[in-house]
């Protein structure tokens, strides 16, 4: 069997495994609905007053998408790796032709499909609930796909190093929550300390790129350079995705 065939078989196995866990399916799609209803209401009621949500509704599209692009891969892939470790599945995997990077690629593709569908639901709700005027660019697809793949790699590392599934969830939340609010998603750079290096967060490049193609071009400089365009942020995100995906594949245990 070729590498493509092995990845396809592993993808189908992971896909059907996800569908069998009905609670996971429900909350994967229900969680974005709750986020939109809560934050969307805040945006609508405080858009012209003081407080956090003072920008136009479309400004927060990267933040809404970041919720699923960040949290879902970290928790799902991290928990999947932890379950495989608990069930000695990696020891069995070592006896098959399926390599670690192929296994992680299959898991990543499942997450890309799932989060892509959740992202479509999010965008529709954003328009309906908040009345945001969003520019739908084809570049939005690779931004979401690369963002998911990047955090799948991070999730694989968390699942490989954490001592249990509970540890994975705790580590995922401890990492995701600061990144969500310190990566130019819901909080504009003007409200963050000037010394805070938001460029060190990979989610910042996702936020700036998505905002550039859905709302308005980014005006934030990059380490003193003039504000670059969305293709620059897409290229940086692609490079970071390669690094974190490779690191996640290397971190996967060969045996348990």
* pLDDT tens for each residue of 39-90: 766 655 454 555 566 778 888 889 889 989 999 899 889 988 888 887 777 7
Q: Which pLDDT does position 45 carry in this prediction?
A: 46
pLDDT tens, residue by residue, 9-37: 889 988 888 888 877 777 777 777 777 77
Domain positions in the chain: 3-251
Q: Report whether 28 contacts 148 (CB < 8 A).
A: no
Q: Distance between CA atoms of 43 and 47, rounded to whole angstroms?
A: 5
CA dist 123 → 35, 52, 217, 240 (Å): 12, 21, 19, 25
How many CB atoms are located within 10 Å of the residue 187 CB?
A: 16
Q: Is the dihedral of CA 48, 229, 143, 77 positive or negative?
A: negative
**pTM of the complete model:** 0.88
């Amino acid at each position: 069997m070729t590498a493509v065939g092995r990845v396809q078989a592993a993808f189908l196995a992971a896909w059907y495994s996800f569908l069998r866990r009905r609670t996971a399916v429900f909350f994967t799609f229900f969680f974005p609905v709750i986020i939109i209803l809560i934050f969307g209401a805040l945006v609508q009621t405080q858009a012209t007053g003081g407080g956090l949500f003072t920008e136009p509704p479309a400004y927060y599209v990267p933040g809404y998408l970041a919720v699923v692009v960040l949290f879902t891969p970290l928790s799902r892939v991290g928990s999947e790796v932890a379950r495989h470790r608990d069930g000695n599945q990696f020891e069995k995997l070592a006896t098959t032709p399926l390599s670690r990077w192929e296994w992680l690629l299959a898991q990543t593709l499942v997450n890309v499909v799932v989060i892509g569908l959740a992202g479509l639901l999010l965008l529709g709700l954003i328009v309906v609930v908040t009345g945001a005027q969003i520019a739908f660019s084809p570049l939005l697809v690779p931004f979401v796909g690369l963002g998911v793949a990047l955090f799948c790699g991070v999730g694989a590392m968390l699942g490989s190093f954490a001592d249990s599934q509970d540890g994975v969830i705790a580590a995922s939340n401890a990492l995701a929550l600061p990144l969500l609010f310190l990566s130019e998603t819901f909080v504009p750079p003007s409200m963050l300390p000037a010394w805070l290096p938001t460029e060190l967060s990979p989610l910042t490049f996702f936020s700036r790129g998505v905002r550039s193609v859905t709302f308005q071009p980014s005006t934030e400089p990059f380490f003193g350079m003039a504000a670059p365009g969305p293709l620059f942020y897409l290229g940086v995100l692609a490079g970071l995705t390669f690094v974190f995906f490779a690191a996640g594949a290397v971190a996967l245990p060969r045996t348990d």
